[in-house]
Structure 1
């Protein structure tokens, strides 16, 4: 018998960033009845009776290397138009409580600790958090900045892999909402299998790639040849600054382009470009130009524009994933979860098209419903 009221920890790597702050504030607002759960798939009727932990049962904490408190960060997001006016004040207590549970992550500049020492310290924070709040389990969710891929001869693990290793050490399921390396090193992949913990794909699918995963199957199903597919992203805030690094942008774009290759069966001409526009703040614009060929070689074009707030798009998905993975852990499900490919640019297997991914997610809900 599942207990939806069992206290469940959600531990963010990047706990003072925009996504984590929006998730904590949003969870508090929804459970207080201040706002509807718009964008949370797990709050729809399809997930009734699945035994997911309730929003009221979630306890937040995390690691970060910045010092701006969550209440202050929420005020900044209000000024940027991400959070509605008055919400930061209304959920100040919940934000402050989560901020009390944020610990210094790493590695810090000139950090003298070895990888093994960092992993041990990070894992100790997780174990302490779980014990201090008598939590049934803790799900670690990486929402930190995108990293460049590590060099093949790198001697140190990247930060995302340190957090992933700490999660395994502490017996915590792991969700990587970023395109960073995380569990995807040979050593950690083997350790994840040995740990018997559920874990997910990489890089949350929130905007441009979400639309691509809907449109690409349309061309295939209508037997229309896609000749070229180009895209441009304009974004500001922390993501814009981070993705100004060509190596970090390449890691991000790999997932954006993967859905086209997987769905179309080939990689069309054209690339995705990311431009840092600080004036846009936490908002982004994504433009796609699709050149395709129809009957008798007629050449046609489809153009799309997506404008949105990435944090507001990502936060409900992060809450969904934390609840789904926590329930999977309770049900004894371990290893990669391709059924959650609906949420990711880089899923752990499964179909690339959104309708098929959604069908897989609903089947997973049935599986959770039947689990004891």
Structure 2
């Protein structure tokens, strides 16, 4: 919701694109779709009208009321392009119905590129299945067994329809060998996983500092408090475990070892869309001296995530235009648990992103 309101506000010059890194000088002139080129649609499990959702976010202190009023008419237009999630007799049929929706959306708006972004609730970690290993095995299994989580069904449908795919959640999405095979075969790119918006963003800055200064991190514990729909979903043990696993990866990858401590996520309904993270880091320095660092992060989850979704849609569409296919580790800058063997330092990820995008040409031919 915040993503759509924000894009409409930027398009109408009602707001600055704060938080959108594609508006920074190194990327601003890249071969990316403009703000006026973006068209929104999708599948939604909620029957509440978009304007009602937007006003509820005004009440929660997330969106400014004047902006919501100014874009209300355009939200009504977007609502015409929302559909309930398909539910076929089997997973193969569900994919076919989703593909039909994607193709109809592209044709209706005469679009060159469609980017499917998964912003649904976090799924539990999946159990590996032999059908995940190859496209042939997956195609044989889909009509007779439920072998894919919903996020992977959408990735399969996106690739089949010639669309790129971004997983903004820690769900499985396109991260299966069979789906990577399909993406390369049809020439579509994908990126993920789990947008990096708060505590993990700070970890990706602070952990390289400890490593570069040769300071030994003894423990790193974090407590995350959040409300809203995400908080309610993450109160479920299976979804919580998937999210925590995604958040923890940066420390081991950056430090080269895993310090003591754990990350917790607790649901506090009263704080709504706001979230708080408190971290305690203990470390050793010269001559074994013991020291500590604490930080507290207060943020609005939607306002932190929405500009990244817009960035990812623009960058992924641009990469598709350039002929990129398969996984895009160059977009690791945006994710807690990025695809591929990449640095988890935010600074390294930023340089990789800029070098990649500025190497594009306006005419991929």
* More off after superposition, 236-245 vs 41-50: 41-50
Asked if the contact 2:31/2:362 (under 8 Å) is kept, the reply is: no
- Name the residue aligned to 2:348: 356
Asked if structure 2 preserves the Cα contact closer than 8 Å seen for 1:176 and 1:203, the reply is yes
Gaps of 5+ in 2: 130-144
Contact 1:141–1:177 (CA<8 Å) still a contact in 2?
Answer: yes
Partner of 1:335: 326
Q: Deviations over 1:248-295 (max 9, x none)?
A: 111111121100010000111111101000001001001111010111
Q: CA deviation at 1:370?
A: 6.0
| Structure 2 Cα separation of the partners of residues 43 and 93 of structure 1 | 26
CA contact (8 A) 2:91 2:146 kept: no
The 3-state SS of whatever aligns with 1:91 is helix
CA RMSD of aligned residues (A): 1.3
Quick one: which of 164, 170, 182 aligns to 1:179?
Answer: 170
Q: After superposition, where does 1:115-264 map in structure 2 within 5 Å?
A: 115-152=91-128, 155-264=146-255
For the Cα contact (< 8 Å) 1:65–1:106, is it kept in 2?
no
Secondary structure of the 1:368 match is: coil
Q: How far 1:155 moved relative to its partner?
A: 3.6
Aligned residue in 2 for 1:17: none
Unaligned ranges ≥5, structure 1: 1-20
In structure 2, how many angstroms separate the alpha carbons of the residues matched to 1:149 and 1:129? 31
Q: CA deviation at 1:85?
A: 2.1
What is aligned with 1:286? 277
CA contact (8 A) 1:224 1:293 kept: yes
Asked if structure 2 preserves the Cα contact closer than 8 Å seen for 1:149 and 1:180, the reply is yes
Partner SS for 1:346: coil
Q: Does structure 2 conserve the Cα–Cα contact (< 8 Å) formed by 1:289 and 1:304?
A: yes
Counterpart of 1:113 (choices 84, 89, 92) is 89
TM-score (structure 1 length as normaliser): 0.91
Distance across 2 between alignment mates of 1:45 and 1:88: 29
Residues 175 and 201, structure 1, Cα contact 8 Å, conserved in 2: yes
The corresponding residue for 1:39 is 19
Relative to the length of structure 2, the TM-score reads 0.93
Change in CA separation of 1:166 and 1:227 when aligned onto 2, cut-off 3 Å: same
The structure with more strand, counted as a fraction of residues: 1
Residue 185 of structure 1, CA deviation: 2.5
